[in-house]
């Protein structure tokens, strides 16, 4: 598997079993973002690093195959470490302890925990087969020796018949032992076939896990693409919101200006109406002084019209002022 975890200050990458035909050393590496130093974050159980026992968590990686990793990215580090299972890679580390910092190198075999387990099973099988072969060779040598002794005894005289029978008994025992050894070899071969079947089943499971990991990677890439699309849409929406807020502020300023102009117009209209009413009142007083009873009755009749006549004059005056654009000064 290939899990990658990212925090605010450290990145981690697992360089153990990445691909079916490539393998790592069973170590989780982390990298500081501030200085780019690569260190061991965790050691995989059953991996090459744990089997060797030299490296520990916190050791700082200096070089791979005499190639410095200072400033290298974790992807470059992964490409340098991965290789065919069973091959070796040399790494240099720096460790801080009570006496200070010391540098050391270690040569690790590439491989997954399953690879090392299979290698251990194969080694045990080979050792067992070699032991059985040696036992079979000893039995065969003993059989040849007994047969030679039997032939030599038969070539002697009849008085050696007792010894001959003893040799035959020994030979029968050796034959029985040989058959038992052959049966053990057959049983071991059967066990070997069973282990090979289990190994094929484990390989099939491993391929299924690799396919599952690939599907998860695709899902992760799709999620990242959707996140970038959502971020782009959010930025566009924020820009539109700022534009709309600017438009609203401009509209508010324009409305305030219109309201100020309207208030000024209303003040001018009120002033003009006051001037008109003052002029009309003076004209009416002059008529009252210069006219007789008829004029006074008309004046009284004009007064009797009341407030509606004055309102009509005011409306007409306002219409005239609007048509002439605030009136004549």
18 versus 97: which is more confidently predicted? Answer: 97
DSSP category for residue 156 = S
127 versus 89: which is more confidently predicted? Answer: 89
Q: How many domains does the chain have?
A: 2
The answer to whether residues 91 and 35 belong to one domain is yes
The answer to whether residues 143 and 78 belong to one domain is no
DSSP category for residue 158 = G
Angle formed by the axes of helices 293-305 and 307-324, nearest 10°:
80
39: left (phi over 0), alpha (psi -120 to 50) or beta: beta
Question: What is the pLDDT, as a whole number, of residue 289?
Answer: 54
Asked if residue 80 has pLDDT above 60, the reply is yes
The answer to whether residues 221 and 125 belong to one domain is yes
For 162-191, what is each residue's pLDDT tens digit?
Answer: 777 888 888 888 888 888 988 889 888 998
Q: Could you give the CA distance from residue 303 to residue 274 in angstroms, rounded to a whole number?
A: 18
Identify the CATH number of the domain in which residue 63 sits. 2.30.42.10
The answer to whether residues 210 and 123 belong to one domain is yes
Q: Which of 168, 190, 225 is the last residue in one of the domains? A: 225
26 found inside a domain: yes
271 found inside a domain: no
Question: What is the pLDDT, as a whole number, of residue 12?
Answer: 42
Range of the domain at 217: 115-225
279 found inside a domain: no
Query: Which DSSP string do the residues of 60-120 spell out, in sequence order?
Result: EEEEETTEE-TT--HHHHHHHH-B-TT-EEEEEEEEEETTEEEEEEEEEE---HHHHHHHH
The answer to whether residues 21 and 42 belong to one domain is yes
The answer to whether residues 133 and 177 belong to one domain is yes
Q: Counting beta carbons within 10 angstroms of the beta carbon of residue 124, is it exposed (0 to 12), middle (13 to 18) or buried (19 or more)?
A: exposed
Of 18, 32, 35, give the one whose Cα is nearest residue 80.
Answer: 18
Asked if residue 1 has pLDDT above 60, the reply is no
Q: For 205-219, 282-296, 315-329, which range has the lowest pLDDT when averaged over its residues?
A: 282-296
Helices marked H in the chain: 48-52, 74-81, 113-155, 161-290, 293-305, 307-324
Rounded to 10 degrees, what is the CA torsion of 227, 233, 238, 242? 170
2 found inside a domain: no
Q: Which of 111, 128, 151 is the last residue in one of the domains? A: 111
Q: How confident is the model at residue 297 (pLDDT cuts 50, 70, 90)?
A: very low
27 found inside a domain: yes
Given a contact cutoff of 8 angstroms between Cβ atoms, the answer to whether 142 and 120 are in contact is no
Identify the CATH number of the domain in which residue 171 sits. 1.10.287
Q: Which of 225, 245, 266 is the last residue in one of the domains? A: 225
Angle formed by the axes of helices 161-290 and 113-155, nearest 10°:
170
DSSP category for residue 17 = S
Provide the whole-model pTM: 0.37
66: left (phi over 0), alpha (psi -120 to 50) or beta: left
The answer to whether residues 84 and 171 belong to one domain is no
Asked if residue 10 has pLDDT above 60, the reply is no
Question: What is the pLDDT, as a whole number, of residue 61?
Answer: 92
Question: What is the pLDDT, as a whole number, of residue 8?
Answer: 31
Give 302's Cβ-side CA count (13 Å radius). 13
Average pLDDT, the chain: 80
250 found inside a domain: no
The answer to whether residues 103 and 123 belong to one domain is no
**Mean pLDDT over residues 303-313, rounded?**
66
The answer to whether residues 107 and 152 belong to one domain is no
Question: What is the pLDDT, as a whole number, of residue 291?
Answer: 52
For 40-60, what is each residue's pLDDT tens digit?
Answer: 999 998 888 998 889 999 999
The answer to whether residues 99 and 120 belong to one domain is no
The answer to whether residues 87 and 169 belong to one domain is no
190 found inside a domain: yes
The answer to whether residues 138 and 218 belong to one domain is yes
189 found inside a domain: yes
């Amino acid at each position: 598997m290939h899990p990658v975890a990212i925090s605010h200050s450290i990145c981690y990458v697992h360089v153990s079993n990445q691909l079916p035909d490539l393998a790592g050393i069973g170590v989780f590496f982390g990298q500081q973002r501030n200085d780019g130093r690569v260190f061991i974050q965790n050691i995989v159980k059953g991996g090459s690093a744990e089997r060797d026992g030299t490296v520990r968590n916190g050791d700082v990686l200096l070089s791979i195959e005499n190639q410095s990793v200072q400033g290298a990215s974790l992807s470059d580090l992964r490409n340098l470490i991965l290789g065919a299972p069973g091959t070796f890679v040399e790494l240099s580390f720096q460790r801080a302890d009570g006496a200070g910092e010391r540098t050391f190198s270690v040569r690790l075999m590439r491989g997954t925990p399953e690879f090392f387990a299979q290698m251990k099973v194969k080694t045990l099988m080979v050792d067992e087969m070699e032991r059985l072969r040696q036992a079979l060779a000893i039995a065969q040598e003993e059989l040849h020796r007994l047969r030679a002794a039997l032939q030599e005894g038969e070539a002697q005289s009849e008085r050696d018949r007792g010894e001959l029978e003893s040799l035959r008994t020994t030979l029968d025992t050796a034959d029985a032992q040989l058959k038992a050894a052959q049966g053990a070899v057959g049983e071991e071969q059967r066990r070997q076939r069973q282990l090979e079947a289990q190994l094929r089943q484990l390989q099939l499971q491993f391929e299924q896990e690799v396919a599952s990991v690939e599907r998860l990677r695709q899902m992760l890439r799709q999620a990242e693409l959707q996140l970038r699309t959502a971020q782009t849409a959010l930025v566009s929406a924020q820009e539109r919101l700022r534009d709309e807020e600017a438009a609203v502020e401009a509209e508010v300023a324009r409305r305030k200006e219109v309201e100020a102009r309207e208030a000024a117009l209303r003040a001018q209209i009120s002033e003009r109406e006051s001037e008109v009413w003052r002029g009309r009142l003076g004209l009416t007083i002059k008529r009252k002084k210069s006219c007789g009873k008829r004029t006074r009755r008309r004046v009284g009749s004009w007064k009797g019209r009341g407030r509606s006549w004055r309102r009509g004059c005011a409306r007409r005056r306002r219409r005239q002022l609007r048509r002439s654009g605030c009136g004549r000064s």
